[in-house]
């Protein structure tokens, strides 16, 4: 049977814990790595997996996300089945925005019915990872599942912070446990537990029936409401993400790398994971590229300086600076005597002569003045920038000093 797939990506995340990076943009729109945004990872996974029909559901502070997708993800094709369509809240049930993951899909169920797919792939847009979704679909079909939930193993002592899935040895889901004190372990391994990744594959008829039933119960969420109701009624399976094989992955990379970059600390740490000769997550995998790769600015221009273990993007100009363990995004100007260490510098920033930055994040469009020092004295920094609870300082967009 020919499989007709439709992807529905939930990209409306507010991302409060990423403030102030989310003061002007939604979480999926937050810049990440040398030239990407968080949303690019899930979109790349879809394209690389051969899934070309996508509805992207947006919500909070969505303008920069809409602009990014329109400029970088337009699909020109003779086929009507190749599209990435941005869908803002339609307010079909009233003036409220999406009330949960299931409600977001329910408010757009007409789009699913019009496309008439055999399966609907429902993924979030908030995480950094690579995944071949076709392998999850193969498991779904082979298991004769109606719904398959992507899960990943974590140490049993960490599982209480997540939604835990108890499964039979073949992956059939027996129970959902929401942040349990005593989580159920994986079959055959008492040291680990399966946790839900919030990514699902539904048979279309099952999805539409489940959404209709949830609406009657006034329930709005897949993980908290719909899936627990289905456990004893249908074939509901868990797909082990750690078994997903990505071509081109280096032996030194962390198997099944997946990060929720929902905090400033996690955001910064996942950037550091990409540095070094043998990074645990190598962004430069030509066999599973992260799109988009196009750039409309000239190559980086390095007049002089000392650079170690860093990403330098297109359009950057460096003269006489020292840069270590850092990410410099496009069109940044760095003057003589500047020192940047363990930091993330976003687009169109100007670092003036002699300024020194240590373990900070500088948002777009800022200018850091001559001789300024950030990241060395938190008490002084509090008067100049936002200090996250993890200790990392963030200079918000247009917060020049």
Mean pLDDT of the chain, nearest integer = 91
pLDDT reported for residue 95? 46
**Which among 240, 260, 280 is the end of a domain?**
260
| Nearest C-alpha neighbor of 223 from the set 301, 122, 138 | 122
Per-residue model confidence as pLDDT tens digits over 84-107:
999 887 655 554 555 668 888 888
Percent of the chain topping pLDDT 70: 94
**Same domain for 387 and 252:** no
Per the structure, the count of domains in the chain is: 2
As a whole number of angstroms, the distance between CA 284 and CA 102 comes to 35
As a whole number of angstroms, the distance between CA 154 and CA 145 comes to 24
153 within a domain of the structure (yes/no): yes
pTM of this prediction? Answer: 0.92
Per-residue model confidence as pLDDT tens digits over 269-299:
999 999 999 999 999 899 999 988 667 778 8
> Residue 182 maps to which CATH number?
3.90.550.10
Please determine, for residue 53, whether its predicted confidence score (pLDDT) is greater than 70: yes
As a whole number of angstroms, the distance between CA 398 and CA 14 comes to 20
pLDDT range class, residue 400, cuts 50, 70, 90: low
CA dihedral for 95, 100, 104, 105, sign (positive or negative): negative
CA 270 vs. chain centroid, Å, equals: 11
Give the helix, strand, coil percentages of the chain, each rounded to 5.
25, 30, 45
Per-residue model confidence as pLDDT tens digits over 164-203:
999 999 999 999 998 889 999 999 999 999 999 999 999 9
**Same domain for 96 and 237:** yes
As a whole number of angstroms, the distance between CA 58 and CA 124 comes to 11
As a whole number of angstroms, the distance between CA 264 and CA 394 comes to 9
**Same domain for 249 and 372:** no
Is 54:108 a contact under the CB 8 Å cutoff? no
Please determine, for residue 328, whether its predicted confidence score (pLDDT) is greater than 80: yes
> Residue 375 maps to which CATH number?
2.160.10.10
DSSP state of 273: T
Strand partners, 319: 304
**Same domain for 306 and 256:** no
**Same domain for 341 and 229:** no
Structure tokens at 77: 């094709």
**Same domain for 228 and 90:** yes
290 within a domain of the structure (yes/no): no
Residue 106 has, within 13 A of its CA and on its CB side, a CA count of 23
Percent of the chain topping pLDDT 90: 74
**Same domain for 242 and 318:** no
Is 67:59 a contact under the CB 8 Å cutoff? no
Is 7:123 a contact under the CB 8 Å cutoff? yes
Please determine, for residue 354, whether its predicted confidence score (pLDDT) is greater than 60: yes
272 within a domain of the structure (yes/no): no
**Same domain for 255 and 305:** no
Asked whether the bond before 176 is cis by omega within 30 degrees of 0, the reply is no
**Same domain for 347 and 205:** no
368 within a domain of the structure (yes/no): yes
284 within a domain of the structure (yes/no): no
**Which among 201, 232, 260 is the end of a domain?**
260
328 within a domain of the structure (yes/no): yes
**Same domain for 63 and 204:** yes
Residue 133 φ/ψ, nearest 5 degrees: -70, -20
Q: Which residue has the higher pLDDT, 229 or 77?
A: 229
Please determine, for residue 13, whether its predicted confidence score (pLDDT) is greater than 80: no
Q: 373 lies in which domain range?
A: 301-395
**Same domain for 137 and 255:** yes
CA dihedral for 76, 77, 82, 88, sign (positive or negative): positive
As a whole number of angstroms, the distance between CA 42 and CA 130 comes to 8
**Same domain for 337 and 256:** no
Strands 163-167 and 119-124: what pairing? Answer: unpaired
Asked whether the bond before 20 is cis by omega within 30 degrees of 0, the reply is yes
Radius of gyration of the chain (CA): 22
385 within a domain of the structure (yes/no): yes
Contacts of 101 (CB under 8 A, 6+ apart): 10, 122, 198, 220, 221, 222, 223
Segment holding 176, helix H or strand E? strand 173-178
118 within a domain of the structure (yes/no): yes
As a whole number of angstroms, the distance between CA 363 and CA 360 comes to 10
């Amino acid at each position: 049977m020919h499989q007709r797939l439709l992807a529905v990506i939930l990209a409306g995340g507010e991302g409060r814990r990423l403030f102030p990076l989310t003061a002007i943009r939604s979480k999926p729109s937050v810049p990440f790595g040398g030239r990407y945004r968080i949303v690019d990872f899930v979109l790349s996974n879809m394209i690389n997996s051969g899934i070309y029909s996508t509805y992207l559901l947006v919500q909070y502070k969505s303008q920069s996300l809409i602009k990014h997708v329109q400029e970088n993800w337009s699909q020109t094709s003779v086929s009507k089945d190749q599209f990435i369509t941005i869908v803002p809240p339609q307010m079909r049930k009233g003036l409220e925005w999406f009330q949960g993951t299931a409600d977001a899909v329910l408010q757009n169920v007409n789009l699913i019915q019009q496309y008439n797919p055999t399966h609907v792939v429902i993924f979030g847009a908030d995480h950094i990872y690579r995944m071949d979704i076709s392998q999850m679909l193969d498991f779904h079909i082979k298991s004769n599942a109606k719904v398959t939930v992507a899960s990943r193993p974590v140490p049993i002592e960490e599982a209480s912070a997540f939604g835990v899935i108890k499964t039979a040895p073949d992956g059939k889901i027996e129970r959902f446990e929401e942040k349990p004190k005593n989580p159920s372990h994986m079959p055959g391994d008492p040291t680990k537990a399966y946790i839900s990744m919030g990514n699902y594959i539904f048979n279309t008829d099952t999805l539409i029936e489940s959404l209709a039933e949830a609406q009657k119960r006034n329930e709005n969420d897949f993980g908290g409401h719909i899936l627990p109701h289905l456990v004893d009624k249908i074939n509901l399976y868990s797909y082990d993400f750690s078994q997903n094989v990505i071509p081109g992955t280096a032996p030194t990379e962390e198997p099944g790398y997946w990060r929720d970059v929902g905090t400033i600390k996690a955001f910064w740490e996942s950037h550091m994971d990409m540095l070094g000769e043998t990074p645990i997550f190598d962004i430069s995998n030509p066999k599973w590229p992260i799109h988009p790769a196009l750039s409309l600015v000239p190559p980086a221009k390095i007049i002089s300086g000392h650079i170690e273990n860093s990403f330098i993007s297109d359009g950057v100009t460096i003269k006489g600076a020292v840069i270590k363990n850092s990410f410099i995004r496009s069109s940044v100007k760095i003057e003589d005597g500047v020192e940047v260490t363990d930091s993330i510098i976003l687009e169109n920033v100007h670092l003036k002569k002699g300024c020194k930055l240590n373990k900070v994040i500088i948002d777009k469009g800022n200018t850091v003045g001559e001789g300024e020092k950030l990241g060395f004295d938190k008490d002084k920094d509090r008067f100049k920038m936002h200090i996250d609870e993890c200790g990392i300082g963030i200079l918000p967009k247009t917060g020049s000093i």
